[in-house]
Each structure stands twice: as structure tokens, then as C-alpha cells.
């Protein structure tokens, strides 16, 4: 395997590891820092440009592999191939198909990891927003309960004042 296909394989392994980390059912308190650590390098503009260039290079290798597999299939379908030539063509076809699948799955997994990362990030943001709203609702409920308790106590005080005034009036009459 040539150097650039070895590098593409390394990229594929890294993508598989990242996808596995994103897909595992990790608690939110661990997932948020992990997601932020994974996101941090990709916020840099230079890294984004480099990634786009690498993906374009992989796409070119993918298109080249498709073209080579097509040409090898055309050569195999011709009747002019002898036994030794046919074995060599089949060997080249195997290597080109391997390169085709390697580059294709790398491109596909890149888009899958990107979408999964966006979904996980959105999920974490929605959970944080829900927790904030839930805490505010709890505080509001507590405030409402306190207001109701204060109103109840004020009503009780006013009733006691009326009773006290009536008792004073009764004691003066006696």
C-alpha cells in the first residue's frame, strides 16, 4: 500500500475512533467536556482549510480509483488477455478495488462523523437549555409558593386583627 493510502487508512481509523466516542452512551457531564475537546482544534481556520484540502485529495483518489477499476474491467472483458496477463489484471483490479473502498468509506464516514457531531452538540445544547428552564421553573414555583404562603399569613393576620378588635369591643362593653 502506498504512503498516501496508508495515510488515508490512518484517517479512517481516527474517524472510526471519533465516531465510536460520539456514539457511546456517555453521561452528559462527561460527554460535554469530551465534545468540547474534540471540537476545539476544528474551530481554527487553518485546520478547516487543511481538512478541506485533504478531503479534496481523497475525493480525487476516489475518482481515480473508479476510473482505474473501470479501465481494468474493460481490459478483462477483451478476448486478447492470456492466462498470465489475466492474473496480473485481476491482481491490479483487487488493489484498485481496495483503494476504491478505502477512499469511499473514508469520505462517507467523514460526512457521517460531521453530522453525528452536529447532532450530539445540538443535543447537549438542548439539554443545557432544558435544565436552565427547569431550574427557572423550580425557582418560579418556589416563588409562587412563597407568595401564596405570604398571602395566607396576611389573611390570617387580618382575621386575627378583626377578632382582636371584636374582643376589645366586648371587653369595653363589659
117-163 pLDDT per residue, tens: 888 889 888 988 888 887 777 766 677 777 888 899 999 999 999 99
Query: Residue 84, exposed/middle/buried by CB under 10 A (0-12, 13-18, 19+)?
Result: exposed
67-102 pLDDT per residue, tens: 999 999 988 887 776 778 888 888 999 999 999 999
**Cell 404562603 found at:** 149
Alpha-carbon distances, residue 167 vs 68, 146, 153, 155, 163 (angstroms): 107, 31, 21, 18, 6
Rounded to 10 deg, the angle between the 45-77 and 83-173 helix axes is: 140
Interatomic CA distance for residues 113 and 148, integer angstroms: 52
69-78 pLDDT per residue, tens: 999 998 888 7
Measured torsion, CA atoms of residues 95, 101, 106, 109, in degrees rounded to the nearest 10: -160
49-60 pLDDT per residue, tens: 999 999 999 999
* pTM for this model (two decimals): 0.69
Amino acid at each position: 500500500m502506498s504512503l498516501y493510502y496508508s495515510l488515508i487508512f490512518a484517517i479512517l481509523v481516527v474517524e472510526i475512533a471519533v465516531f465510536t466516542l460520539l456514539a457511546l452512551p456517555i453521561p452528559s457531564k462527561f460527554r460535554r467536556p469530551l465534545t468540547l475537546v474534540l471540537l476545539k482544534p476544528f474551530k481554527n481556520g487553518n485546520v478547516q482549510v487543511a481538512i478541506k484540502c485533504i478531503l479534496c485529495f481523497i475525493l480525487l483518489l476516489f475518482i481515480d480509483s473508479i476510473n482505474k477499476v473501470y479501465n481494468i474491467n474493460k481490459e478483462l472483458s477483451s478476448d486478447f488477455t492470456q492466462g498470465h496477463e489475466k492474473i496480473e489484471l485481476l491482481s491490479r483490479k483487487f488493489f484498485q478495488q481496495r483503494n476504491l473502498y478505502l477512499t469511499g468509506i473514508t469520505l462517507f464516514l467523514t460526512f457521517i462523523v460531521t453530522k453525528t457531531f452536529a447532532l450530539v452538540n445540538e443535543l447537549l445544547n438542548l439539554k443545557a437549555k432544558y435544565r436552565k428552564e427547569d431550574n427557572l421553573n423550580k425557582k418560579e414555583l418556589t416563588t409562587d409558593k412563597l407568595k401564596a404562603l405570604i398571602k395566607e399569613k396576611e389573611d390570617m393576620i387580618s382575621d386575627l386583627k378583626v377578632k382582636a378588635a371584636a374582643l376589645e369591643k366586648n371587653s369595653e362593653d363589659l
